[in-house]
Structure formats: C-alpha cells, structure tokens
Structure 1
C-alpha cells in the first residue's frame, strides 16, 4: 500500500513541476516577475481627427501630421487618421468609432470646432485618453487641452508688416470672427502699431460653412484689401490662405503665412510665416500618453515656451534688411522677457 501511495506522490510531484514550469503564452515575456502585459498598458497607437481642410492644407493640419510622423519615427507608434469635410457633423462619429475600438493610447481632436463632439465622446468613454488642440476642455480627467499664444507670434509678423509697409495700410484675412482667429488679428495689429502707430490695419473675414477651405472667397476678399491700399496681407484661414497668396502674387505685394512654413509657396512674395509649433506639441502629448505620463491639464505655448515664432526668412532676408531683422529679434526677446505684453484681444 505504501508503495502505491509513493508512486502516486511521485507522479503528482512530476505533474506539479511540469505545470509550474510552463512558459508564458506567446507574445508575453517575463521580466521582474511580471509579464509584458502587466508592466505596461501602452498600445503605442494614436488616432487623429483633423480639422477642416485636412492634410495638404500647408498649414495647421499638416503641422499636426508632422508631429505624428515624428512620433512614428522616434517612438515607434502607429496611427490612424480621419479627415472630415465638415467637423461639426462628422467629428463625433469619427471620435466615437476610434474610442469604441479600444485600440488607442490617445485620440487627438484637431481644432476648436471639435470641442462639443469631443466632450460628448470623452464623457461616454471615461477610460480613453483624449487631447484637443486649440481649445480648452475643463472638468474631464481624460482630456488634455493644448493652446497657443497666437497673439505673440502675430505681434512679430505685424511688426514686420509695419516695417515693410509703404502705403500706411496693411491687411488681415481671417477665416471667421471666432475667439481663436481674433487672437491672430489682435497680435498683428498691436505689432504693426508698435513700430508704426498711425498705420491702418484692415481686417476681412471669409465666413460661411467652409471658412478654412474656401480659396476663391479668400482670394476675392484679399483683392478688396488691395483696392483699399493694403500692401502687406497676413492670413489666419487654414487652406483658404492659398487663395490669399494667389492674390498677393498677382497684385505684386507681400503676404504672410501662418501655422506652418509657407514661405516656399511663393518665394520672395511671402515675407515670413507665423509658426505655431503644433508638430512639437502633438509629439509631446503622444509621448506623454505612451510613457504613461498623460495629464488632463491645459498646456499653453507662447514665445517663451518656443510654441510660436517666425521662419528664418530664407527668401526675404535681403528685402527685409539686417536692421529690421535686428529690430524684430529685439522685439521677440522683449516679449520673452515680459517687457512687451501682448493682449489676446483688442
């Protein structure tokens, strides 16, 4: 009897050893006593819903895309995209579909027109992390907000416009009269009047349902400014700005780009572009999400934070002149040091 019990004990022990010696399931690795699934929840995947105009706008959306590409290259992420024709009607469905999949560390909504849709979806999916660019969402622990001090960068290009103006009149083409676009205009006017107090700054707005992607209307609006004597025109109108540039080229005056470096579209005609480093902000928020350091807070980027600025005047240095460029650099430093305070509205 003892012999039978002993045999069964040996067999049971061998079974226990085999069971305990099993390797982790395929795709798992043991490290410090944890499987990879235990040590990190990062999927290294991101989704983005672009603003009006989508990729190829040479402006805001393209800057976001560059941030995604940088994250893909440096962080090894994958990403999915959606380009709505009308964010007001399509954004909610796109955001919902991305959230329902459960595939993404972070879902990014590009542009202030996304706010209502994002809030609704973020409330429905409280465990999904979201970020919105150019708008503030308060009170939701799963949404990060990214804003820029557009007025500071616009002050710089307004000062340059004032330096280059010959007629006493410059122009501004905005997509609409929203709070965001008014920050661009406010800074532009303040900068121009900082260097030339008596200068006239004439604003026009595209409006309508397609304000950020209506090149024909933007071109026509620009022509009205030229008729009123404007000889430098700055736009804050997304893809519509391409129509602004067509007009300034035909009228042989200067234009100023926005968001991305647009100087090369019409070399020598576009004095500079007011850069919003949306690409850097996009990369940073992705990295935080992937690294498990995501925070649902407002982040604001101005000149001091290297969030806005100008191009390096690749095609226009000689036209602007060394003296004006030195003045512009001093103005930039004064804003950074707090000696010049740029208001967000006027």
Structure 2
C-alpha cells in the first residue's frame, strides 16, 4: 500500500501544474531526487526531505522526478542513465539525498564533464567532487546536549548506530558520549547494526539489539535512521526498562520513554537549496551546518520538560562551544 501511494504521489508531483492541470509545463529546469534505498516512509529524515521538495514544487514551476531505489546498485543505474542522457537546453540538478552515494558520485563525476548538469550530495564534507555541491548537518553539538541531559536518568548509556562507516553517525555518537561523560556519566559505549547503508533499514535487528542492551543500560541513544523504529517498538512494549531519544524529527509521540529528540530541519534546508538553484543563484560548494545554523536542534519531550529544562538550559551553550571546538579539530 505504501508503495502504491508513493507512486501516485510521484505522478502527481511530476504531472500537475499549479496553474492548470490540463496544460503541460514547458520546463527548462529539472530536479531529480534520489532518496536513500528504502528511505521513503521512515517517518523521519527521508520523509522530511520529501515534504521540503513538495513545498518547493508547490511554489515553483519545474520538472520534478523522484526515485526511491531498493539498493545502491539500482540507484547507480538511475544516476548513470541521467549522466548519459543529453540535457539539451534543460538545466538539471540531481539530488543524491544520502551519503551512501558519495563513492558513486566521485566515481562517475570524476570521469567526465556533463554540460548543464549539477549534483547536490547530502551529508558529506567532501569538497572536491566535480560538478557537485555538498553539505553536512553535524550532530555533534545536539548529541552532546542530549548526552548531558541523559545523566539525569542514569550513569550508564549505550549508543546504537546504523553504520560504522558513516562519519555523520559516528560524529553524533562521539558527541553524545562526550556530553554524557562530561556531565558525570560513567559509561556510554557505541554499538553498530551494520557496516553498510543497510543499517538504516534494519528495525528488527534494532529491536533485538535493544532487547540485549536494555538490561544493562538505562539510556539507549539510537542514530540508525529507519531502524530506530525497532528501538521505539521495544520501548512501547517494555515502557519502564530504559529511556531513549527521537531522531531527525520530534518523535516523542512514539514512546513515553523518549526524553528528547534531535531534530534536523532537512525540509527547510532542501527548500533553501532548491529555491536558490531555481533562481539561478550560486550554491555553496561545501557547507557544514551545526546548532548555530538553525537547521538542527534538540526538542525536549513534554513529559520530561519539567525534569530536564534546567539541565538543558545549563548545557546548551556548552554544547555549541564543544561543537565549535570539534569543528576546529576536524578542520
């Protein structure tokens, strides 16, 4: 059912003009959005991207194509077919909405010059990919803040990560551990579901891992995309075993055990990038966005606000400072 609904949505986005549904659009600008494999329907990051794209499409006239591939191999075929196709007079932007596509982008964009074609690649700090713009939303400061606040509930926490090879995920995990230990927490080891992109789509594995970790750790901090749903399902079934956090959007409605959520306003960011590109304004070659940008924040759950607000306010400026220090070390 979800696939059928999504297919209808794509057809509507591509074919309908806001002025006159029966009148075809003659578009000289084209945007192709390639989501992470299996990402659409995650009720978080990918769905927020889709909402942002829909918002731009409502306000601007351009040709929009959307694909949600089942694998990186399928995604690569779509990308290569686009590169090979003559753009003619159309100006085209291909949005690679996940850093699992970085190697693919480097491989193909380094081997040729593609007139009229540009690429926007999400969640990477790589600066020198030809014809590509890149950005990353660092989670270090936001996760530091969640880690510090988590010490209200326990001195033993665990971080459950999707992919051991994802810099953004690892950076968030390290930030949580730093905030947790600097606020008096004793232990916060990192655990991984996978060493590939598949770790973002393994809710059953996350559920089982949560069952394994919950007896030992009173706080489980998940950075695992769609796999987080396995953590929240376990939290609903065993609501007094541990506390946890939402990710990408405010997910406090999914469990009473969610104390806060790391909210990425990726919908706002894609709106800003697409609007800028459609207006013919230059995009930044590479940009890292942190807490000061407004594209990421921590939202306390209503059930925990009274207990956590004071600690949250006390640590927020420290979280921003630690994030800035981390960026200086990284660069």
1:134 to 90, 115, 123: 123
Identify the residue that residue 43 of structure 1 maps to in structure 2.
28
Distance apart, 1:249 and its partner CA? 2.3
Identify the residue that residue 19 of structure 2 maps to in structure 1.
none
1:264 to 253, 257, 263: 253
1:56 to 22, 41, 45: 41
TM-score (norm 2): 0.81
Distance apart, 1:130 and its partner CA? 0.8
Runs of 5+ unmatched residues, structure 1: 1-40
Distance apart, 1:45 and its partner CA? 3.1
2:95 to 108, 127, 144: 108
Q: Is 98-107 or 200-209 further displaced after alignment? A: 98-107
Identify the residue that residue 286 of structure 1 maps to in structure 2.
274
Distance apart, 1:128 and its partner CA? 0.5
Aligned residues of 1:255 and 1:269 also touching (Cα < 8 A): yes
Alignment pair present for 1:333 and 2:303: no
Q: Distance in 2 between matches of 1:274 and 1:128?
A: 34
Identify the residue that residue 140 of structure 2 maps to in structure 1.
151
Distance apart, 1:53 and its partner CA? 2.6
Change (3 A) 1:141 1:204: closer
Q: What SS does the aligned partner of 1:255 have?
A: strand
Identify the residue that residue 67 of structure 1 maps to in structure 2.
52
1:185 to 145, 167, 173: 173
Change (3 A) 1:151 1:126: farther
Aligned residues of 1:285 and 1:294 also touching (Cα < 8 A): no
Superposed CA RMSD:
2.5
Alignment pair present for 1:297 and 2:285: yes
Cα shift readout 1:78-111 (whole Å, capped 9, x = no counterpart) = 4211112222x12221123344263553111011
Q: Distance in 2 between matches of 1:206 and 1:340?
A: 26
Q: What SS does the aligned partner of 1:311 have?
A: strand
Aligned residues of 1:122 and 1:128 also touching (Cα < 8 A): no
Identify the residue that residue 274 of structure 1 maps to in structure 2.
262
Count residues in correspondence: 295
Aligned residues of 2:105 and 2:129 also touching (Cα < 8 A): no
Q: Distance in 2 between matches of 1:191 and 1:72?
A: 40
Q: Distance in 1 between matches of 2:161 and 2:75?
A: 23
Change (3 A) 1:101 1:163: farther
2:81 to 83, 88, 97: 97
Aligned residues of 1:152 and 1:308 also touching (Cα < 8 A): no
Change (3 A) 1:208 1:151: closer
TM-score (norm 1): 0.77
Aligned residues of 1:44 and 1:77 also touching (Cα < 8 A): yes
Aligned residues of 2:144 and 2:319 also touching (Cα < 8 A): no
Matching of residues 207-218 of structure 1 within 5 Å: 207=194, 210-218=198-206
Distance apart, 1:140 and its partner CA? 3.8
